[in-house]
Amino acid sequence: MNDRIIIIGAGAWGDALSKLTQINGCEPTIWSRSCGRVLSEMITDRVAIISAVSMSGVPAIIDRLHGAIEPNQIIVTATKGLDARTNLTPAQLWHQAFPNNPIVVLSGPNLSLEIQQGLPAATVVASHDVDAANTIQTIFSSPKFRVYTNDDPIGVELGGTIKNVIAIAAGTCDGLKLGDNAKSALLTRGLAEIIRIGQYWGGKPETFYGLSGLGDLLTTCNSPLSRNYQVGYGLAQGQTLSEVLANLKGTAEGVNTTKVLIQIADSNQIYMPITVLVDRLLQGQITAPEAIVALMSRDRKSE
């Protein structure tokens, strides 16, 4: 098994995942668009195909692999985002294209740079296929990376995806120097928002209190290494979204995720006040200070 893994994506996250498997003695093959090799030919006889590309790249990767994936190959999605065209999660896109293959979601409080530096971390691998989840757990587990299994892939995936929106709000909060009390309130109500729409999507409430939910939320909302946090912080400093994104290394998935969540929340009357204000902030309809005033002046209600 050690040399029968392929990682799709040579960015920071793909590199981090590669290093994790190497700790455990694996020698994974890495594919990227610039490697000059045909992806569909490289996946032959691989036990696991691990997708670590940005959300915008997922549909194109799926198209490249149509007709090439073998029935028993495990597809692991390590992408945190939502497809703007279909409103589907990455795992849902993979399942739609390859309904007979086991799909595993990998998500957790995993900052790429810290993993590349060899610092300890933990994550969750979730699937309806217990054997597939156990296999991926074995591939990634090491003394520096603790891996838990879970049987709620949609909940695990949504926790890691939706928290990016709250991370933009958290970066804004810190950029305005509003203090720890305000940030704690923001994260607590942000988690409630994540659970609210996550349950609508079919996720289990308890999943969002785990590593891929609360754990990832705390990490992403408190670390300057988080690209989504950097977006909010930059906006709070008076930069435009275009200026922030131009100086960002990598993709801030929360920007696109916010747009998709607004569509879903509006269509299904799901109450998401923080997401609404993040959306208005990203669109330039409101300034960061105005967003805070709007959030604090809402109608009184019970918790």
Annotated binding site for substrate: 80, 227-228
d(CA 11, CA 252): 13
At residue 53, the 3 state secondary structure works out as coil
d(CA 92, CA 69): 17
**Residue 121 identity (one-letter amino acid):** A
Contact 51, 76 (CB under 8 A): yes
Nearest to 80 by CA among 112, 121, 116, 48: 112
d(CA 151, CA 67): 28
Residue found by looking up tokens 């994936």 in the block? 69
d(CA 119, CA 224): 17
Contact 81, 260 (CB under 8 A): no
Q: Which residues are annotated as a binding site for sn-glycerol 3-phosphate?
A: 80, 108, 163, 216, 226-228
Q: Of these residues, 144, 163, 177, 301, which one is catalytic?
A: 163
Question: Does residue 144 have an active-site annotation?
Answer: no
Backbone angles phi, psi at 72, to 5 degrees: -95, 0
Q: Which residues are annotated as a binding site for NAD(+)?
A: 227
Residue found by looking up tokens 């998401």 in the block? 272
Q: Which residues are annotated as a binding site?
A: 13, 33, 80, 108, 112, 163, 216, 226-228, 253
At residue 102, the 3 state secondary structure works out as coil
Which residues are part of the catalytic machinery?
163
